[in-house]
Amino acid sequence: MIANGRPAAGKSAAHPSVLCLPRNRVGRDFVVGDVGGAFDLVFQAMRDAAFEPSRDRLLSVGHLLAGASSLASCIQFLRAPSVFAVLSNSEQDLLDLFADGPPDDESVAALASMDFHGLEWIATAGQIQRTQLVGAMRMLPLAISIGDKGTCTGYVHGGLPGAGGWGEFLDGLQRQDETCVSAALRGSGRNSEIIDVDRVFACYTPEWDLTHRQANIFAVAPGPFVQLVGDMMAPLKLVESRKVEH
């Protein structure tokens, strides 16, 4: 487990399972869902919200990329000290592709032609950018936990398994339990209360059926919009993407 900060650079290819952070007592925490490569709009939304990097934090739970043109901005986004993202199934697909080293150009072209898991853009990306991006992706945890046990806030892309509390889920991720890892990356459809955590934020998918809250699990609306974590505690309503008011 990584405590109170980012994992150190230069780790092995195995990404850290869980990132633990202290509560933000000096600034604000924001959350963003599917970015889809629109990093310029995310950066603009942060400026609109008067985001202060030395005090505020941005938690990302969605898909990041949407094409080769967004690679440089994605790397910049992930390297920002105030940005903390979790791994999604799309990023895991990319890591799997590079698990045994960078694929050769022939393999990349073949994957692009069949649109392998939405990675057709990789054929137009340079090798250096691919390597830098994969290096940044390898540092992403499967889940982020903020605060103390029982009063913490959780962030994950997909969700949790059908049973068990937050602490049990984090332990499972650290053991690389297949059920926990699969739920973190792809969801499980769970809509029951999760113990040992105040609330959990996950990326919105159609299975949420236009609600943004199920028990203490909150869906983060897709799109390059930053939202204050505190604002997500509103009553049940239709999901609506919006910029933060300030």
Per residue of the chain (246 residues), give pLDDT as tens: 433 343 333 333 355 799 999 999 999 999 999 998 899 999 999 999 999 999 999 999 998 987 666 788 999 999 999 999 999 998 888 888 888 888 777 877 777 776 665 667 777 777 888 888 889 999 999 999 999 866 899 999 999 998 889 999 999 999 999 999 999 999 877 778 999 999 999 987 766 555 578 889 998 888 888 888 877 655 433 333 333 333
Given this model, what pLDDT does residue 22 score?
A: 94
Helix (H, G, I), strand (E, B) or coil at 174: helix
- At 2 the pLDDT is 38
**Short-list 148, 149, 172, CA closest to 160:** 172
SS3 203: strand
pLDDT at 123: 73
Q: What is the pTM of this model?
A: 0.84
Cα–Cα nearest to 102, from 13, 181, 10: 13
> Which pairing describes strands 57-60 and 83-85: parallel, antiparallel, or unpaired?
parallel
Domains in the chain (CATH in brackets) are 16-233 (3.60.21.10)
- The pLDDT of residue 103 is 78
Report the side by side order of strands in the sheet with 227-228. 83-85, 57-60, 29-32, 227-228
The letter for the amino acid at 120 is E
Closest Cα to residue 224, out of 21, 27, 48, 19? 48
pLDDT recorded at residue 144: 97
